[in-house]
Amino acid sequence: MTDQRPSLLRAEVHRFRSRRFIRILVLLALGGFVVGLVIAGTQFAKPSAAGLADAQRIMAEAGQQQEQFRQECLKQPQPPGQTAEQTCGPPFEASGLGVEDFMRTKPFVFADTAPGAAGGVAAGTAALLFLIGATWVGAEWSSKSMTALLFWEPRRLKVIATKLAVLLGAAALIGAAAQALWLLGAKALAATRGSTGRLPDGFYGDLLAIQARGVLLVVVAGALGFALANLVRNTGAALGLGFVYFAVVENAVRVLRPKWEPGLLTNNAAALVSKDGLRLYLNETHVDGQGQLVSVREIVLSHLHGGVVLVLTAAVLVAVGGVLFARRDLQ
């Protein structure tokens, strides 16, 4: 009665593809992405010749005004220890403003928006995969079909590792698809509602690196959802734990123990998908002979820091869940 090779992996891929709730979640996310893109489209507009001339006129007036204020400022005595440049600011040309900043409806500038929004897309997709990861294994526990599967493949670590592998593969695919969709959507917005803009050197290299790290974030988020649901054997409980962590624990840490902020998952996620990592400004209180002094310390969380913290956290939770699953008596 055997006409094909036994394959737990093939069966689990089939099972994943057949899960209705997962399909609904992915379709809803896709719908949300399209709606978001349409809404974004309404916030930008390609400049008309008249609009451009109007913006250039307003920019010139603003420049004149600012230069006037600056010249007056330069005539005033400067505070000790400060240069005129520090007190009165740079000349208008160097202030970094462009003509698009003076338009009533700004154009979509691909070079400015695409990299940052890629991180946002990664964060949204990560939230989706956290949910998918939790429901993927949580529903197996709730229905006890996990136990039934052990009548067919009793090597528990193989079972859980296969389910995790299927999830991580799907997470990577979904994460990459989301980034590809965003790239296409951003190009479409640039073509219809703005411009590509002048692309700085190495732009696509930087963008693709952000997107690749975004895919890693999505994969880690899936693993975290999976690990939590496998530990508590229930999707709802896993999502509840996630909510408590992100909504309560992280905010409590920010208020009560700001020194711990570099360890928070959301900070490390932001560090991972930001172009130059994440800068944290931590208030530090020192007491000297004259009373309390508060100073601000800047900490930079690099991509590597963010990635290592996230991957290690997920790996520890997955490993603990796996070991418990291998040893537990199952009813």
Partner 1 sequence: MAVIEVNDATKTYRRRRRPPQKALDGLDLHVAEGGVHGFLGPNGSGKTTTIRALLGLVRADSGELRLLGRPVPRDLPQVVGGVGALVETPLFFPTFSGRLNLQLLAETAGVSRVRVEECLELVDLQDRAEDRFKGYSLGMKQRLGIAAALLKSPRLLVLDEPSNGLDPAGIRDVRELIRRLGADGSTTVFLSSHLLAEVEQVCDRVSILARGKCVATGPVHEVLAGRATGEVRLRAPDLAGARAVLEGAGYAVTPVDGALRVQGVTAPAELTRLLADQGHYLEELSPVAADLESAFLELTEDTP
Q: Using CB under 8 A, which of 56, 76, 147, 283 touches partner 1?
A: 147
- Check binding of 145 to partner 1 (CB under 8 A): yes
Q: Using CB under 8 A, which of 57, 104, 144, 279 touches partner 1?
A: 144
- Check binding of 80 to partner 1 (CB under 8 A): no
Work out the angle between the directed axes of helices 156-193 and 8-18 (0-180°, nearest 10): 50
- Check binding of 24 to partner 1 (CB under 8 A): no
Closest CA to 10 of 172, 166, 171: 166
- Check binding of 330 to partner 1 (CB under 8 A): yes
Q: For partner 1, give the closer residue by CB, 19 or 275.
A: 19
Stretch that binds partner 1, among 4-12, 47-55, 118-126, 169-177 (CB under 8 A): 4-12
CB-based contacts of 278-287 (< 8 A; 24+ apart in sequence): 278/306, 282/258, 283/258
Residue burial 94-118, b: 16+ Cβ < 10 Å; e: rest: eeeeeebebbeebbbbbeebbbebb
- Check binding of 140 to partner 1 (CB under 8 A): yes
- Check binding of 205 to partner 1 (CB under 8 A): no
Closest CA to 331 of 164, 157, 124, 147: 147
Site for partner 1 in 281-310 (CB under 8 A): none
- Check binding of 323 to partner 1 (CB under 8 A): no
Q: Which two tokens stand for residue 94?
A: 């160097």
β-partners of residue 297 are 282
- Check binding of 152 to partner 1 (CB under 8 A): yes
Q: For partner 1, give the closer residue by CB, 13 or 299.
A: 13
| CB-based contacts of 130, cutoff 8 Å, min separation 6 | 221, 222, 224, 225, 242
Q: For partner 1, give the closer residue by CB, 29 or 146.
A: 146
Give the residue ranges of DSSP H helices in the chain.
8-18, 20-43, 49-75, 84-88, 110-143, 145-150, 156-193, 203-232, 235-243, 250-256, 265-273, 303-327
- Check binding of 69 to partner 1 (CB under 8 A): no
For strands 194-195 and 108-109, give the pairing.
parallel
* Smallest separation, CB 12 to partner 1 (Å): 8
- Check binding of 17 to partner 1 (CB under 8 A): no
Q: For partner 1, give the closer residue by CB, 148 or 312.
A: 148
Q: For partner 1, give the closer residue by CB, 6 or 96.
A: 6
- Interface positions with partner 1 (CB under 8 A): 1-8, 10-11, 14-15, 18-21, 139-140, 143-145, 147-155, 327, 329-331
